[in-house]
A and B are shown apart, each in its own frame.
Chain A
Amino acid sequence: MKKIHEILENHNSDRTRLMDILWDIQNQWGYIPDEILPEMADKLGLTELDIRETYSFYHFFLGKPPAKHQIYLSDTVIARMHGYQAVYDALEQETGCIFGEKDVTDTFGLKTTSCIGLSDQEPAMLIGKEVFTRLTPEKISQIISRLKRGDSPADIVNPDGVASDTLAYINTMVESGIRSKGAVFFQNKTDFKALLNQVINTRPEVIINTVSESGLRGRGGAGFSTGLKWRLCSDNDENTRFVICNADEGEPGTFKDRVLLMESPKEVIFGMITTGHAIGAQEGIIYLRSEYYYLKDYLEKQLADFRAEGLLGKCIGGKPDFNFDVRIQMGAGAYICGDETALIESMEGKRGTPRVKPPYPVNMGYLGKPTSVNNVESFVAVTRIMEEGALWFKAMGTAESTGTRLLSISGDCDAPGIYEIEWGVTLNEVLKKAGAKDAWAVQVSGPSGDCVSVKKDGNRAIALEDLSCNGSFMVFNRSRDLLAIVKHFMQFFVNESCGICVPCRSGNVDLLKKISRVIENKACQKDIDEVVAWGKLVRKTSRCGLGGTSPKPILTTLEKFPEIYQEKLVKQIGPLLPSFDLIESQRGYLEAVATLNNRSTCS
Chain B
Amino acid sequence: MMIQLKIDGKNINARKGEPLVDVALKNDIYIPTLCYTTGQACLGTCRVCSVKVDGVVTAACTVPVAHGMDVEVNEPEVTDMRKALVESLFAEGTHNCPSCEKSGRCDLQAVGYEVGMMVSRFEYRFTPRRRDYASDKILLERDRCIFCQRCVDFVRDEETGQKIFSISGRGANSRIEINAEFANKMTAEQVTRAVNLCPVGTIVEKGVGFNDPIGKRKFEIKSVRERALEGGPK
Contact = CB atoms under 8 A, between A and B. Distances in A.
Interface of A: 46-47, 49-50, 52-53, 56-58, 334, 351, 356-358, 494-503, 505-507, 509-510, 513, 530, 534, 537, 540-543
Interface in B72-126: 81, 84-85, 88-89, 91-92, 121-123, 125
A542 B81 CA distance: 11
Contacts of B121: 530
Given A49-B163, A499-B172, A537-B81, A542 B177 contact: no
Contact of A506 (B62, B88, B149): B88
A355 B42 CA distance: 10
A482 B5 CA distance: 47
Given A47-B163, A47-B179, A502-B92, 5 more contacts: A52-B166, A494-B172, A499-B170, A502-B89, A510-B88
Most buried by A among B57, B121, B171: B171
A435 B174 CA distance: 44
Contacts of A537: 81, 84-85
B171 A543 contact: no
B171 A502 contact: no
Contacts of A46: 162
A57 B85 contact: no
B169 A513 contact: no
B64 interface: yes
B44 A498 contact: no
Contact of A502 (B46, B125, B177): B46
Interface in B170-209: 170-174, 177, 179, 182
Contact of B163 (A50, A357, A497, A530): A50
Contact of B45 (A497, A501, A540): A501
A349 to B, nearest CB: 14
B166 A356 contact: no
A530 B122 CA distance: 9
Interface of B: 42-48, 50, 57, 59, 62, 64, 81, 84-85, 88-89, 91-92, 121-123, 125, 146-147, 149, 162-163, 166-174, 177, 179, 182
Nearest to A52: B168
B184 to A, nearest CB: 14
Nearest to B167: A53
Most buried by B among A53, A58, A506, A510: A506
B171 A506 contact: no
Contact of A501 (B44, B92, B166, B168): B44
A542 B62 CA distance: 12
Given A357-B62, A494-B172, A351 B46 contact: no
A364 to B, nearest CB: 13
- Consensus secondary structure, chain A interface: helix
A356 B61 CA distance: 10
A498 B171 contact: yes
A513 B123 contact: yes
B170 A503 contact: no
Nearest to A352: B170
Nearest to B157: A47
10 contacts: A49-B177, A57-B170, A334-B170, A497-B171, A499-B174, A503-B85, A513-B123, A537-B85, A541-B81, A543-B59
Contacts of A503: 47, 85, 88
Contacts of A509: 92, 125, 172
Most buried by A among B62, B169, B170: B170
A505 B149 CA distance: 14
Contact of B85 (A50, A358, A502): A502
B171 A495 contact: yes
A510 B44 contact: no
Contact of B92 (A498, A500, A506): A506
Given A537-B81, A541-B85, A501 B171 contact: no
A57 B169 contact: yes
A543 B35 CA distance: 14
A53 B179 CA distance: 12
Nearest to A356: B44
B146 A56 contact: no
A510 B125 CA distance: 10
B123 A510 contact: yes
B42 A499 contact: no
Nearest to B146: A502
Contacts of B147: 499-500, 502, 505
A53 B168 contact: yes
A507 B120 CA distance: 13
Contacts of A47: 162-163, 166, 179, 182
Contacts of A498: 170-171
Given A510-B122, A530-B121, A541-B50, A494 B171 contact: yes
Contacts of A53: 166-168, 177
A542 B91 CA distance: 18
Contacts of A50: 162-163, 166
A499 B171 contact: yes
Contact of A507 (B44, B88, B168, B170): B88
A507 B50 CA distance: 15
A-B residue pairs, 10 tightest by C-beta: A356-B44, A540-B57, A499-B171, A499-B174, A49-B166, A497-B171, A506-B92, A56-B168, A53-B166, A541-B47
Contacts of A507: 88
Nearest to B162: A47
B167 to A, nearest CB: 5
A530 B88 CA distance: 13
